[in-house]
Amino acid sequence: RRNRRPRSAMIIPIRAQEKIVGVLNIGKLSGAEDFTPDDLQVISVVATQLAWILSNFELMSKMWTLAITDELTGLYNRRYFFLRVREEIQRAERYDKPMCVVMLDLDGFKELNRSHGHLIGDEILQQVCAVVRRNLRAVDMAARYGGDEIVVILPETSVAAGFAVITRLQAAVGEEVYVGHNGVPVKLSLCAGIAQFPGDAGNPDDLIRKADVALLEAKAAGSGQVLLAD
C-alpha cells in the first residue's frame, strides 16, 4: 500500500434488509487518538442512514428502468424515445454533427400472428428485439414505437453510415433462426426508413415523420427495402 496504515480503524457494514449493500471504512493516522466505543456508536448510526439512502436509490433506479422500458420487448418505450430524440438533436446542434432516426418494421408480421398465433408472435418479436440490441453500437438507442415497429436513434451518424448500420442489422435479423407453431421455421426481414438531422428535418416531429414516410414507402416497395427520406 502506498498510503500509511491507519493507527485506528473502523469497518462498518452497511446493511439494508439484512443484505450488505456497502462497507464504510474510517481510519485515523498515527498521532491521532484511537476510536472510542462512542465513535463506533455514532458511525453505526451514520451507516444506518447510508443504508436507507442506498436502498431508496436502488428502488428509484428500478422504478425508473420500469418507466422507460417496454415490458414485452425489453427495448426502451416510446415515451423515452421522444425524450432522447430531442436530447440527441440538441447535442447534434451543439457539436455540429449529423444524427439519424430510423424506423424499422418486420415484413409480414401480421400474417405471422394470424398463422402462428399472438403468443408465438410475441416470442418472435422478443427474439428480434434481442437481435437488434446485440447488433447496434453502444451509442445507439432502440425503442419499441408500436406493434412491431422499432425506432432507432443513431447519434453522430451520416446517412451513409446509418445505411451501413441498418444493412448489418437486417443481415443479423435474417440470419437468426425463428421457430413458429409446431416447430415450423419462420423467415423474417426488416424494412427501414432513414431520416437525417439536419439534412431532412430541423425538429424532432418532422424528423420522425420523414423517417415514418420513408418506412411506408419502403414497405410498399417490397420486403427488406431500406429507403432514405426525400
**Catalytic residue positions, numbered:** 148
Quote the cell numbers at residue 219. 414497405
| 198 upstream amide cis, omega within 30 of 0 | yes
Say if residues 30 and 7 touch (Cβ distance below 8 Å).
yes
The total number of residues written for the chain in this structure: 230
Terminal alpha carbon distance of the chain? 63
What whole-number distance in Å separates Cα of residue 207 and Cα of residue 78?
15
What whole-number distance in Å separates Cα of residue 179 and Cα of residue 121?
10
What whole-number distance in Å separates Cα of residue 77 and Cα of residue 88?
16
Say if residues 75 and 81 touch (Cβ distance below 8 Å).
no
- Which residues, in sequence order, are CB contacts of 167 under 8 Å at separation 6+? 226
> In 93-202, which ranges are E strands?
99-106, 141-146, 149-154, 178-179, 185-186, 190-197
